[in-house]
Structure 1
Amino acid sequence: MSGDLSLTALPAHILDRADVQAALRLHDFGQVFRLTRQWGGISFLRIADACDIKPERVGKLARGEGAITTYEKIAYIADALGIPGHMIGMAPRPWEQASTPRSPSRPELISRLSTVAIADVPESDDLGTVDLEGDEVQRRRFLAASIGIATAAAVIPGGSAAGRRIGHRQVEHLQRRTARLRTLDDVLGGADTRHIYRAELGSTLSLLRNASYTETTGRQLLSLVAEQAQQAGWAAFDAGRQAEASALYEKAFQAATEAGDAALAGNSLAFLAYQQVSTGTSGVATAAASCETASDDAPATVRALLFERRAWAHAKAGQAKETEQALGQAEEALAGSGSDRPGPDWSSWVDTRELQIMKGRCWTELHRPLRAVPALEAALADFADAHARDKSLYLTWLAHAYLDAGETEQSATVITEAMDLSAGIGSVRPQQRANEFLLRLQPHRTIAPVAELLDRAAL
C-alpha cells in the first residue's frame, strides 16, 4: 500500500460514530461493514472489492457469521478503508505518515555479524513492502493477543535477549521452537501460518541485531534465519504471494551462505526453483545449482529432497531422461540413509512415501499414466485426511493421470474428493490445480458424472 490515502476511505462522519468506533476496537468488521452501508451508502460489493474479500463473505460477516482475525487482513482492511491505526489497536499506518519523509530501504547482505541488516520483504503482492524491524513490536503484540503464541525473543530462557549475551543453549531452544512451529504446516495452509512464521523471523533478526554472542553462535543464528525465512517463504508461496516468497527465499540464501551452511543454501535454491516451475518459468538451472551447492556430503534426507526438486523441474520442462536420473539419485540417497548422519528437522519429512508421490507427480507431468497411477495410488492409500492440503494436491495429479489413461469417470471421482478436502484450506494451490483440471474435463461433459461435477463447480 502506498503512502496515499485509499480512494475507498470511509468518510469522517462514519469513523466519528460511536458504534463504528466500538466495533473497530473489537475488530468486529462485520458490524463495521453493516454500519458503513447503513450510514454511508457504501455497498457490500464496493467494500468487498476494496478489501479483497468475496462479496458473499462480506454479507455473512455483516450478519454476524465469522470474523476477521489475522493481522495481515486487518491491516489490509484498515488501509483499504482509511481506518487510522489507533482505532484498531495498531501503530499509525504508512499513509497516516505520508507527510513525514521516509528514507528508502536498501537491500543489504548480512555481511558482518556485528552489523546485521536485512532487506525489507514484501508483505504481499498487493501491499508493497513492510519493514520487518519497524513492524516487529506491533506484530508481536497483535499475535500474542490474538493467538496466544509468544515470539522467539520472548521465550529465550532468561528473558529478553536485547543487550545481553546469548550462547549455544539459547539458540538450541529457538531451533526446537522453530521445529515445533513447522508442524503447523502439516495441517494449515500458508494463509493461516505466514504471519506466525514472519513474526518468528523478525524476532530472530532482532536477536542478531541486539544481542551479543560469539562468532560461532552468530553463524548458528544466521542458519536459523535462513531456516525461518524458508518456512515463511513457503507459507507465502502457499498463500499465493509470489513476490513475498521469492524475496524471503533470496534472503534465506544470503543468510545461509553467510553462515557457511551449504545444505540450507542449497535448499533455498531448491525452493526458488520450485517457485519458478510453479509460476511458468524453467527452474532446471536453479534446481541443478541447489544440488551442487549442498554438495555430496549433505545428509541423506537433504540430498533426497534436493534431487526430488530437481526431478520436478526436469519433469515440468518435459525432460524424461533427466527426470528419471534425478529420481534415481533421490532414491539412492534415501536407501543409504540408515548409515548416514541424522538430517536436519527441515528435511525430516522426506521418506520413501514422499518419493513415491514425487515420482507419481513427475510421471503425470510427463503424461506417463502407467507409471504415475500406481505410484500415487500406493502413496495415497493410507494418507490421512487430516493433511488435507497436501492430500488434495496429490489427488489432483492422480486425477490428471487417470484422465491421461482414458479413465474419465474415475478422474472425475478423484477430483471431486480433492475439491471436498481442500474446502476452507488457507492455500490457493489446491483450487488452482482443480480449476486447471476442470478445464480439461470440459470436452467430456456428455459423461454424466463429469456434467454433474462441472455444474457443481459452476455454482
Structure 2
Amino acid sequence: MPEPARSQELPPRLLADPEMIDACRARDFTRVFRLVKTRAGVYPSMIARRCDLTPSRVGEVMAGRRQLLHMDVVERIADGLRIPGHMLGLARRPWETPAALTTVEREPPVAPVREQETPTALPGADVDDILALASRTDLSPSTLQALRASIEDYWRRDDQHGGEALRPAVVGQLRYVTGFLKENRSAVIQQELYGVAAELARLTGWTYFDARQYSQARTYFAEALRLAKAIDDRQFMANVLACMSLQATYQDKPGDALALVRAAQDQARTADDTTPRVLSMLSMREAFAHAALGSRAATHTAIHEAHRQFEQIRSADPDPAWVTYFDEPKLIVDTGIAHGRIGEAAIAEPLIANALSREDSSNRRGRAFHAFWLARTRLHLGRIDEACHTATEALERASAVSSERVAGHLREFYGQLSPYRREPAVMAFEARLREALPRQVSGSSRS
C-alpha cells in the first residue's frame, strides 16, 4: 500500500486520546471509526478507500451492526489509517520506522566450499525432463490409481501437519501429470489424467490458502477449475468454487464469497451425479458467506438447507472422495461456527463442543480451529475461565501444525482477550501461549 501524505495521517492528539487508546486496545472499530470521523474529519468513504473495505461495510461497523475480527482486516486498518501497531496489538508496522533510520543488514561473507565437501550432485530439472520423456510408456489403470492414492495421502498429512512442507512434492507431481496431458492418450486415460491434475491443482491452491498466500492460492484454484471444465466435471468445479468462496470470507470479501458459492451450487445442480452430501456442504459454505455479510435470516435458511440435504444421504450414494470429509461432526461444527459468526454464541457453543467430542483425533488442524472457535463462543458468553482453558487445550494441537490460518485464529482469539488481561485465567493462558508459540505472542503483545 503506498504511503499516504502527512496531511492524511491522524492527528497526534487523537492517537494520544485515552478514548482512542481504549477503543484500539479493544479493537472496537465502531468507536475507532466514529472517532476518526469526528476528530480527524476522515469520513466513511475515505475510511473505506484507505482500508480497502466497502463503504457499506464501514457503515455497518459504525452503526454497531458488525465486528471486524480477521487479522488481515485489522492490519489493513492500521496501515490505511496510520494507527501504530502497538495500539491494535500488532507488531510494529513497516511505515513506523523513518526511512532515514532503516538499516540494511549485510549478508555475512560466504566461505568457499571445498570440492570434496560438495554433496553428491543431483541431475538438473532439464535432465529430469529429458529422462522422463525418454522413459514414458502407456499409463495403466494401476498408475492412475497410485496417483489418486498419493493425493489422498497428501490430504491426510495436510490435516495432521499443515501443507507447507507438502507443497513442493504436490507441485512436482502436478507438473509430472500435466506433462502426460501433452501426449496422445486414449479418451478414458486422458479423462482420468485431467481429473488427477485438477485435484493436484486444488490441493496446491489449498496449501497456499492455508499459508494465507491468497494470490497464489487463487491462481491454482483457477487452474483446477480450468482442468475440471475441460472434462466437464461439474461436481469438482463446484468443489473448487466452494474453496474460493471460503477464501473470500477470510479476505473479508463476503460479496465475492456469496457469488462464488452460488456459482458452485449452479454447477452442482446441473451435474447428473451430484450427491446430497455435496449439496449439503455447498449450503453450509453459503451459510458462511451470508454470515460474513451479517445476514442472519439468510444464514439460518442456508443452515436449514444444509441439514435437509444431509438427511437425504444414503450409504449407496456415489460420493466423490473429496467430499467424504463432510460427515456429521463436520456438519455440526460448521453449523455452530455459522451461528457464532452472526453473534449467536449460546446456540453455537453446545454444537461446537459436541462436534469436537466426536471428531477424528488425527485431524489436528481441524480440531485446533474448532477448539479456538469454542473458546471464542465461551468468551462471548462471559465464561472467561472456561474459554482460556479450552484455548490452552487447543495450543498443543496448534503448535504441531504448520498453518498460518491456525496462527491467524490464534491471534484473533488472543486479541479478543484484551479487555480481560488482568484476569488470572487470561494471564495463565498468555504464559502458556508464550511458552508454546512465542512468535505468535510477540507479534500481538503490547508494550
Task: Report the TM-score range of the alignment, normalised by the length of the smaller protein.
Answer: 0.5 to 0.7
For 2:114 and 2:348, how far apart are their aligned partners in 1? 61
Count of paired positions: 327
Task: Report 1:35-434 matches (<5 A).
Answer: 89=122, 91=124, 137=128, 164-166=137-139, 170-210=143-183, 212-282=184-254, 283-295=257-269, 297=272, 298-338=274-314, 341-434=317-410
Aligned-pair distance for 1:136?
A: 10
CA contact (8 A) 1:222 1:255 kept: yes
Q: CA RMSD in A?
A: 2.8
Aligned equivalent of 1:16? 112
Determine what percentage of the aligned residue pairs are the same residue.
23
CA contact (8 A) 1:167 1:213 kept: no
CA contact (8 A) 2:395 2:433 kept: no
- Relative to structure 1, the CA distance from residue 285 to residue 8 in structure 2 (aligned partners, 3 Å threshold; closer, same or farther) is farther
Residue 449 (str. 1) matches residue 421 (str. 2): no
Amino acid at match of 1:18: R
Which segment is superposed worse, 216-225 or 436-445?
216-225
- Relative to structure 1, the CA distance from residue 161 to residue 292 in structure 2 (aligned partners, 3 Å threshold; closer, same or farther) is farther
- Relative to structure 1, the CA distance from residue 356 to residue 136 in structure 2 (aligned partners, 3 Å threshold; closer, same or farther) is farther
Amino acid at match of 1:285: A
For 1:413 and 1:346, how far apart are their aligned partners in 2? 34
Amino acid at match of 1:357: V
Aligned-pair distance for 1:9?
A: 6.1
- Relative to structure 1, the CA distance from residue 135 to residue 254 in structure 2 (aligned partners, 3 Å threshold; closer, same or farther) is farther
For 2:221 and 2:368, how far apart are their aligned partners in 1? 25
Q: Deviations over 1:256-277 (max 9, x none)?
A: 1111000011111111111111
CA contact (8 A) 2:376 2:387 kept: yes
For 1:136 and 1:323, how far apart are their aligned partners in 2? 54
Gaps of at least 5 residues in structure 2 are: 1-103, 439-447
- Relative to structure 1, the CA distance from residue 305 to residue 161 in structure 2 (aligned partners, 3 Å threshold; closer, same or farther) is farther
Gaps of at least 5 residues in structure 1 are: 1-5, 27-85, 92-133, 142-152, 154-159
Amino acid at match of 1:399: A
- Relative to structure 1, the CA distance from residue 17 to residue 225 in structure 2 (aligned partners, 3 Å threshold; closer, same or farther) is closer
Aligned-pair distance for 1:387?
A: 2.2
Aligned-pair distance for 1:231?
A: 1.3
CA contact (8 A) 1:161 1:207 kept: no
CA contact (8 A) 1:385 1:421 kept: no
- Relative to structure 1, the CA distance from residue 457 to residue 166 in structure 2 (aligned partners, 3 Å threshold; closer, same or farther) is closer
Q: Deviations over 1:292-334 (max 9, x none)?
A: 1111641222222222222112212212222222222222222
Aligned-pair distance for 1:7?
A: 9.4
- Relative to structure 1, the CA distance from residue 387 to residue 419 in structure 2 (aligned partners, 3 Å threshold; closer, same or farther) is same
Amino acid at match of 1:182: W
Amino acid at match of 1:260: D
Aligned-pair distance for 1:356?
A: 0.3
- RCO higher in structure (CA 8 A, sep ≥6): 2
For 1:314 and 1:440, how far apart are their aligned partners in 2? 23
- Relative to structure 1, the CA distance from residue 176 to residue 421 in structure 2 (aligned partners, 3 Å threshold; closer, same or farther) is closer
Aligned-pair distance for 1:174?
A: 2.8
- Relative to structure 1, the CA distance from residue 424 to residue 352 in structure 2 (aligned partners, 3 Å threshold; closer, same or farther) is closer
- Relative to structure 1, the CA distance from residue 247 to residue 259 in structure 2 (aligned partners, 3 Å threshold; closer, same or farther) is same
For 1:17 and 1:376, how far apart are their aligned partners in 2? 56
